Structure 1
């Protein structure tokens, strides 16, 4: 991929790579060693408003392209990502702080999202007839694109979580104005824009902008042409989006935070549960909305599980994320590190016991394991987004489920048990969008209804559920025989 960080460190607007005209520049840095990956110019509010105007103009034509034309473009996008994976994976790792394993996983998930669109891309061409109660009438239900979509993505899995909104939106005839978190602007924006540019997507159908909230305010929520705001990120900002979008009667698709329980029932196989919990907690340093946040263990297995979990976690290699052996890399920035260290210090002051006290080296935090934690403690009720975890003792299996539900979040969850039927029954009792039996909490696929309950979000991604998020229905009735009216 040709001099990518130099050539494409710009906004992609109306089919062109353009510099921001604010005069302000920001460095994108490797969170491990703070080396500058590239420098980008920030786009202005005017540039963003122009992007929405362009998106509105181009959407009408894009909506009427054939399925074959859209499919051909998407095939080329997938081809670009696949053919350039050896160049893309190091960029993802350096920019996000993720390990090479995480970067490869993210790229694979992104390609899967693209390919799944082939299975529902023709949804906007379908017409459904429903029974009419009036003689001589035919009722037809058409599915149409919404129009212009705002897409805002986070720093943790920026390519996948961007494409999860971008791909279905475009596949179903919408146009998209997208803003990735600036810290990961190449992974979350420019690589995607370059792929669609390579594939021949008409200019203005997808646009990616380098900017900050300080420059644009709430324009990505308020612009009159926006029909839906798709956002993945914190619950706090999700609430703000919901409020602003609601006041402007715009749809939202929100995938927010999580306080995900990993439950070990009385009959679980401890060694297998430990292996799964370690992966589900420490993948990408715990910076995944689906990561294990609390481990709730039946009292009969608590000591054995805790001892083995701590032993495993204490041996995980940490440091430079670009080295193949690294498991624990850096958090995304120093602010996140300070926030996490503050939570750890506060919990210790409140008397919460550390079974494994890790350390900080720059932006790397090694595993910290709190034990004998009360489920009501702040450390147990906070989304930690780091390699920090609480282990909680349950008096019974039912007690474990009760504590699992005692949170404002409801994204995902896991249950380990030797009785699969019981596990599934308990899974239905957990108030979360997803529960995994004898697996860890970090699971995603392009053909499942991905999303959370309570303060973990609104809406569902994945085929076919995502179709309803990014389209609208239109009722056309045709009166084939003239009606008689009473007056």
Structure 2
């Protein structure tokens, strides 16, 4: 069955700047292929630095007027955007499948997550209130107000392209900012162009949302270091994030960055093994493991290790692999050959180091079999690296102290999960795991638009969601009012 884009997204093939679909100053284009069968879906402009400049210029020109409109008007644009998302749900799920290999369950879940971000953002114009502060001078009132930061540059990922772009874009514009989006070259439609199209259909004023497609090697540096950017929001690998952060910091531009993870799933000996396996299967294999907060390492107490490995293997072998457009499919394709080859290398190196492949380990095209590895140590390739695929290395431990030590033996600190029949014990272990988010008797793939989301160590800077993103996308202003004449010393 040929892979085609629905009408809504097949029309998104230009840059979107200042409310207009426009060609790039460059004549080069980027071919967008589908991981389903490798065929070309479409092509988009390979934008250049001049395009980035034009987008930032349009965003800056529109920002003041956008910030000055009423909260009701900004909320109404977001409400209409949400309506357009609902109206085009089937087209968006189909495009997520075609462009990123998202199975139906994941695509539908991604849209639900995005709706949560939009609903949260739509309330922000009415919830942003100033505060008052104490005065050390007689007859003075102190007010602390929050103003829009200005222009927010958003550099989007390919794995959850729609929802993770909306996570930044929706609250940014709700708070009176304008945005420039640089989508992933792997998924330029769902991480940028279709978002612009939906905002256009929702009646967003020109310049509020701008999108420049292009290769990171061509325009990434300009996007991150642009002097017009007041905040840079980035989701992606730690390696790229380091460069983005350095370039933004040279302009003194604040950043919100979610980077890589090597997330542990700690199963203590008093855990419900079946529950832990259920959570482990979902947390490892959703979207083929191509999730920053997916499970990278299963840490299991030695007394239940064999049972856990057996049950995890049995469950893994039941997962349907195939075309993500088939509603029954659980495991779709890896995003590209480079990622697939790296994953196969991790499995091979781990097996060579003494681990056992319980199931999986091979690939047909971009379809990598979900894989369970037993007898793994934390220094083996599939455990010490952030593998971004359907691989479950299972590592034994003998005590809570050893589990915590293994969990923390990584440069990352994004997310984790802990399973135990003793809630207080699980909480004690959770507090000692060096991660920004820990989930007890669950797995790490959780998101709530009102709860801060982010990591520690090499897993990011700052947080998204909730009050954290409000503070990131606004600047405080102190306004004092002297209500009675003040006496000065001279």
- TM-score by length of structure 2 reads 0.96
Match of 1:104 in 2: 108
Cα RMSD between the aligned structures? Answer: 1.4
Instruction: Kindly indicate whether residue 311 of structure 2 is the aligned counterpart of residue 302 of structure 1.
Output: no
Distance in 1 (CA, whole Å) between partners of 2:6 and 2:370 is 38
Match of 1:481 in 2: 484
Match of 2:453 in 1: 450
**Offset at 1:351?**
2.7
**Offset at 1:164?**
0.5
Cα distance per residue 1:144-172 (max 9 Å; x no partner): 01001110011100000100010111011
Distance in 2 (CA, whole Å) between partners of 1:135 and 1:288 is 55
Instruction: Kindly indicate whether residue 412 of structure 2 is the aligned counterpart of residue 409 of structure 1.
Output: yes
**Offset at 1:271?**
1.1
Instruction: Kindly indicate whether residue 153 of structure 2 is the aligned counterpart of residue 160 of structure 1.
Output: no
Contact 1:261 1:296 in 2 (8 A): yes
Aligned length: 486
Counterpart of 1:92 (choices 86, 89, 96) is: 96
Distance in 1 (CA, whole Å) between partners of 2:105 and 2:57 is 40
Instruction: Kindly indicate whether residue 218 of structure 2 is the aligned counterpart of residue 215 of structure 1.
Output: yes
Match of 1:14 in 2: 18
Q: SS at the partner of 1:435?
A: strand
Match of 2:194 in 1: 191
Counterpart of 1:230 (choices 229, 233, 246) is: 233
- TM-score by length of structure 1 reads 0.97
Cα distance per residue 1:410-450 (max 9 Å; x no partner): 11111111112321222112111111111111111111111
Mapping of residues 277-296 of structure 1, within 5 Å: 277-296=280-299
- When structure 1 is superposed on structure 2, of 282-291 and 441-450 the one drifting more is 441-450
**Offset at 1:245?**
1.4
**Offset at 1:217?**
4.6
Distance in 1 (CA, whole Å) between partners of 2:166 and 2:218 is 24
**Unaligned stretches of 5+ in structure 1?**
none
Match of 1:32 in 2: 36
Match of 1:243 in 2: 246
Match of 2:435 in 1: 432
Distance in 1 (CA, whole Å) between partners of 2:220 and 2:39 is 29
Counterpart of 2:82 (choices 78, 83, 86) is: 78
**Offset at 1:244?**
1.4
**Offset at 1:345?**
2.0
Instruction: Kindly indicate whether residue 396 of structure 2 is the aligned counterpart of residue 384 of structure 1.
Output: no
- When structure 1 is superposed on structure 2, of 345-354 and 379-388 the one drifting more is 345-354
Contact 1:371 1:392 in 2 (8 A): yes
Contact 1:120 1:463 in 2 (8 A): no
**Offset at 1:397?**
2.5
Could you say if the C-alpha distance between residues 133 and 280 of structure 1 is closer, same or farther in structure 2, counting changes exceeding 3 Å? same
Match of 1:44 in 2: 48
**Offset at 1:326?**
1.1
**Offset at 1:122?**
2.9
Counterpart of 1:264 (choices 263, 267, 277) is: 267
Could you say if the C-alpha distance between residues 36 and 2 of structure 1 is closer, same or farther in structure 2, counting changes exceeding 3 Å? closer
Distance in 1 (CA, whole Å) between partners of 2:58 and 2:88 is 30
Contact 2:72 2:125 in 1 (8 A): no
Q: SS at the partner of 2:243?
A: helix
Instruction: Kindly indicate whether residue 67 of structure 2 is the aligned counterpart of residue 67 of structure 1.
Output: no
